[in-house]
Structure 1
């Protein structure tokens, strides 16, 4: 049975190393969100570096998730002091569990605050695609699919909650539907 890969990417208003209150709020809620989502039904796992460090993305060892990559339109810093991004790469059993995790509870509260923390870039913030069971998506997979989505809209190769596709590439019950 295929699994659903989810890549998210956002450009923060300030670098992750910024000691200001908004950055602290973002980190505090982010850690709580990860703990909660990690226990959500349908969640299979997410990319984590071998060693954690605030703002350390580019030089981290991501194991099977591959070398870290960002969209071509990200132009901010790439060091621990200057990185201003938030990104995730995760695996799910399907769209319904991912939808429920994203749009309920603590994550929903964080989404309501996203414009406090993130710039409005005009680019998509998330993309889904199906992967065969046992396959680990890579950061480069996520980047290329997010960029494809931004250039071509939803398609079986790269889609959103609003225009989802089944593993066999058929559209799911029209726009706005999330399958069970």
Structure 2
């Protein structure tokens, strides 16, 4: 699941917008995104995201909040994304 999210974030239509981000925004002093496994019922709230983002910024990646550079599986173990698989997926995209 993390691999799919990474692929969506950095390739395809979403990637086109990210390429222009430096034109639109100043470089932040904080992580650009935060990921976490949501185990509760319902959707996470904005406040949940802000709190996790702050934790990632102050504590660094860990099982409770992480990024694509240092991800964690649901049970809390660290995992490295397979860059070879991402590359294969990327090259399988139709030209846009």
Q: TM-score range by the shorter chain?
A: 0.7 to 0.9
Aligned length: 84
- In structure 2, the residue matched to 1:76 is none
After TM superposition, the runs of 4+ consecutive aligned structure 1 residues lying more than 3 A away are none
- In structure 1, the residue matched to 2:6 is 99
Give the 5 Å matches for 1:1-180: 94-132=1-39, 134-173=41-80, 177-178=81-82
CA contact 1:126–1:146 (8 Å) conserved in 2: yes
Deviation at 1:178, TM superposition (A): 5.0
Greater strand content: 1
Name the SS of the counterpart of 2:37 in structure 1: strand
TM-score (ref. length: structure 1): 0.43
Please list every run of 5 or more consecutive structure 1 residues that lacks an aligned counterpart in the other structure: 1-93
Q: Which has the larger radius of gyration?
A: 1
CA RMSD of aligned residues (A): 1.9
